[in-house]
Amino acid sequence: MEHILAAESGAPPVEAPDFPAFVASRGRQLLRTAFLLTGGDAHLAEDLVQEALGRVFVKWRRISRLENPSGYAQTVLVNTFLSHRRRRSSTERVTDVLPDVAVVDPDPALRLTLLRALGELPAQDRAVLVLRFWEDRSVEETAAALRLSSTAVRSRSSRALARMRGALGADSVAAMEKAGLRHAG
């Protein structure tokens, strides 16, 4: 999509949205990111998104003129999560209660296993995985968002993936493949 938008040379930039409209259009994505960052804690996710959006709101007029307000908001969210974790590291918990939502789910157990495994990673490793594999950010973009070096992002990503693979276990990895999630390339 970014490429598609970039290809529209000659088009005037899309006008900056108003804050409520921005929240209406991007809130869902932010909630999902927060949900992954918190390892599936719906209440904490909502709290983090509200806190992050509060920070965005204060500077909204400036942020709304940025090329990518959504990317900015996502970065604020990740940093809100990390600072929350620093404050609350002693009370860390992984939720056992997941919301009851109706989705077409090829393997609900896998999703829950994945969330729990994410929740057991160190906060910064989790942020690296979410930015890299959920947000599709490059190593450099992830490094900039987390104020880490590219090398640190690569090594954290590598370590966290290894842990995810271990935590998910052979059964879950096989389940991913069985669930039709096989890599096509």
Partner 1 sequence: MPVEEEHGQDFEAEFARALRGAADLAPEDALFGLAAGAERRGRRRRGRRRAALVGAVAVAVLVAGGAGVLGGGAGAQLFGPAAEPVRPMTAEEVVQLVTGLLPPGSVESKIAETPGSSKASRGEHQNFGVLEFDDGKGVSVIVYSVDRGTQRPDEAARCSDPFTTPQDSCERTVREDGSVVVIDKRRDSNFPGQRQWQGTWALPDGTVVRVTEYNGQPATPAREEPPLDAGQLASMVTSPAWARVVAAMPPNPDAPKPPKEEEQPKQAATPSPAELLATLTRLLPPGTAPSGADEQHATLTVTAGERTSKVSVLVEPAGEQGRKNRKGAEEGLPTPLEVREKLPDGTLVVTNRFGNGKTATDPVLHWTAQVYYPDGRNVQLYEWNGENGYDFRPGEPALSVDQLKAAVLAPDWRK
Site string for partner 1, 87-126 (x = CB under 8 A): -----------xx-x-x-xxx--xx--xx--x--------
Nearer to partner 1, 43 or 88 (CB): 43
If one asks whether residue 25 binds partner 1 (CB under 8 A), the answer comes out as yes
Q: For residue 75, give the nearest of 37, 19, 42, 20 by alpha carbon.
A: 37
If one asks whether residue 170 binds partner 1 (CB under 8 A), the answer comes out as no
- How many residues sit close enough to partner 1 to count as binding (CB under 8 A)? 83
- Label residue 10 left, alpha or beta by phi (over 0 means left) and psi (-120 to 50 means alpha): left
Asked if residue 34 lies in contact with residue 45, where contact means CB atoms within 8 angstroms, the answer is yes
Burial 85-97 (b: 16+ CB within 10 A, else e): beeeeeeeeebee
Instruction: Give the shortest CB-79-to-partner 1 separation in angstroms.
Output: 14
Instruction: Give the shortest CB-85-to-partner 1 separation in angstroms.
Output: 18
If one asks whether residue 127 binds partner 1 (CB under 8 A), the answer comes out as no
